[in-house]
Structure 1
Amino acid sequence: MESKSKGLELRDARVFHARNFGGKAEKARLVAAKRNIKHYKKLQQTAQSEAEATSILLHNEPGYIQVDDDRKSSTISQEEILASVDIGTKKKVFSLKLPHGPYHIDYTRDGRYMCIGGEKGQLSMFDVIDMKPFFDISVKQTVRDVQFLDNHEMVAVAQKKYVHIYDNTGLEVYCLRDLGLTYQLEYMAPFWLMVSIGEFGELSWQDVSSGEVVARYKTHKGPCKVMRHNPNNGVIHLGHNNGTVTLWTPNEGRPSVEMLVHKGPVVSMAIHNNYMATSGFDGFWSTWDLRNYKQVLQRQFVGRMPPSAMAVSQTGILGMALGGRIEYFKDVFRQGGGLIPSLYLKHQFTSEDVLDLHFQYYEDICAAGTSSGVSTLIVPGSGIANFDAYEPNPYESSSKRQVQRVLDKIPHDTITTKNIEIGSYNRNYTAVSADDGETVKPVDSGGEILKKKRKKPKELKATTAKKVAQYERTFQRRQQAAKDRLLNLKKKKVKGTEAKERIMDALTFEDSTGQRRVRGSVRGAALSRFIEKKR
Structure 2
Amino acid sequence: MSERSHATAAVSNRNLYQRMAKDSKSLTPKALKQISRVSVRRTLEQAVAQSHEAAARAAEYDLLLNREGCRGFLEPESDLERHTSHVSQERLYESSSLYARRGRFRLDFEEVASTRSSQVLRKLARSAASNHVLQQRDGYRARYSASSRVLILAGRRNGHIAVLDWRRKRTMAPELFLDEPLRDVIMLHSDGLFATAQQRYVYIYDAVSGAQIHCLRNHGEPQSLGFLRYHLLLLSISATGVLRYSDISNGATVAESPTNLGTPTAMLTTSPYNGVTFTGHHNGTVQLWSPAMATEPLAQILAHPGSGGVSSIATDYAGHLLVTAGASSRHFAVWDMRNLFRPIHTYESRNGGNITSLDISQTGLLAIGHSTGGRVTIWKDFRLERHQSSRALPADARRSRCGRDACQFRRICAV
TM-score, normalised via structure 1 length: 0.55
Partner of residue 256, structure 1: 298
Helix, strand or coil at the partner of 1:65: coil
SS in 2 for 1:88: helix
Number of the residue aligned with 1:238: 279
1:106 alignment partner, SS class = strand
Correspondent of 2:95 among 80, 84, 94: 84
The answer on whether the counterparts of 1:148 and 1:156 sit within 8 Å (CA) in structure 2 is yes
Q: Tell me, in whole angstroms, the C-alpha distance in 2 between the residues paired with 1:58 and 1:231.
A: 30
- Equivalent residue for 1:159, pick from 173, 198, 209: 198
- The aligned counterpart of 1:311 is 359
Please, which of 400, 404, 408 is the counterpart of residue 357 of structure 1?
A: 404
Query: Does the 8 A contact of 1:198 with 1:225 survive in 2?
Result: no
Given candidates 104, 128, 131, the residue that maps to 2:169 is 131
Counterpart position of 1:106:
143
In the TM superposition, 1:338-349 aligns within 5 A as 340-349=388-397
Cα pair 2:246 2:255 within 8 Å, conserved: yes
Deviation track 1:407-436 (CA, whole Å, cap 9, x = no partner) reads xxxxxxxxxxxxxxxxxxxxxxxxxxxxxx
Instruction: Note if 1:276 corresponds to 2:322.
Output: yes
1:290 aligns with 2:337: yes
Describe how 1:363-442 pairs up with structure 2 within 5 A: 363-368=410-415
Q: How many Å apart are 1:66 and its aligned residue?
A: 3.9
Q: Determine if contact 1:122/1:139 at 8 Å carries over to the other structure.
A: yes
- Shift of residue 233, structure 1, vs aligned partner: 1.3
Contact 1:143 1:157 in 2 (8 A): yes
1:196 aligned to which of 236, 241, 266: 236
Give CA deviations for 1:172-215 in whole Å, capped at 9, x if unaligned: 00111111111111111111111111211010111112211100
> Which aligned runs of 4 or more in structure 1 are off by greater than 6 angstroms?
none
Contact 2:236 2:243 in 1 (8 A): yes
Is 1:228 aligned to residue 239 of structure 2? Answer: no
Compared with structure 1, are the counterparts of its residues 132 and 289 closer, same or farther at alpha carbon in structure 2 (3 Å cutoff)? Answer: same
Aligned position for 2:369: 321
Contact 2:345 2:383 in 1 (8 A): no
Deviation (angstroms), 1:333: 2.8
Q: CA deviation at 1:249?
A: 1.1
RMSD: 2.0
Match of 1:74 among 76, 85, 92: 85
Of structures 1 and 2, the one scoring higher in RCO (CA 8 A, sep 6+) is: 1
Mapped partners of 2:343, 2:161: distance in 1: 39
For the Cα contact (< 8 Å) 1:296–1:338, is it kept in 2? Answer: no
Q: Is the 8 A contact 1:332 1:339 kept in 2?
A: no
Give a deviation string over 1:106-154, Cα, whole Å, max 9, x none.
1111111111100121101011111121121211211111100101111
Inter-partner Cα distance in structure 2 for 1:367 and 1:197? 24
1:314 maps to amino acid: Q
How far off its partner does 1:217 sit? 1.5
Q: Determine if contact 1:183/1:225 at 8 Å carries over to the other structure.
A: no
Q: Is contact 2:280-2:286 (8 Å) kept?
A: yes
CA contact (8 A) 2:147 2:191 kept: no
Matched, 1:302 2:350: yes
Match of 1:121 in 2: 159
**1:64 match:** 73
Residue type matched to 2:147 in 1?
Answer: D
CA contact (8 A) 2:74 2:393 kept: no
- How far apart in 1 are the matches of 2:320 and 2:282? 24
CA distance in 1, matches of 2:224, 2:199: 12
Could you tell me how far 1:317 is from its partner in structure 2? 0.2
Which amino acid is the alignment partner of residue 368 of structure 2? M
Structure 1, unaligned runs of 5 or more:
1-55, 369-535
Identical positions, percent: 27
For residues 65 and 260 of structure 2, the distance between their equivalents in structure 1, rounded to whole angstroms, comes to 48
- For structure 2, list consecutive stretches of 5 or more residues without a partner in the other structure: 1-60, 110-128
Secondary structure of the residue aligned to 1:356 is coil
User: Comparing both structures, which one devotes a greater share of its residues to helix?
Assistant: 1
Alpha-carbon shift at residue 353 of structure 1 (Å): 4.2
Cα shift at 1:341: 1.9
Could you tell me how far apart the structure 1 residues matched to 2:400 and 2:323 are? 21
Deviations 1:40-84 (A, max 9, x none): xxxxxxxxxxxxxxxx99965232224412533332111110110
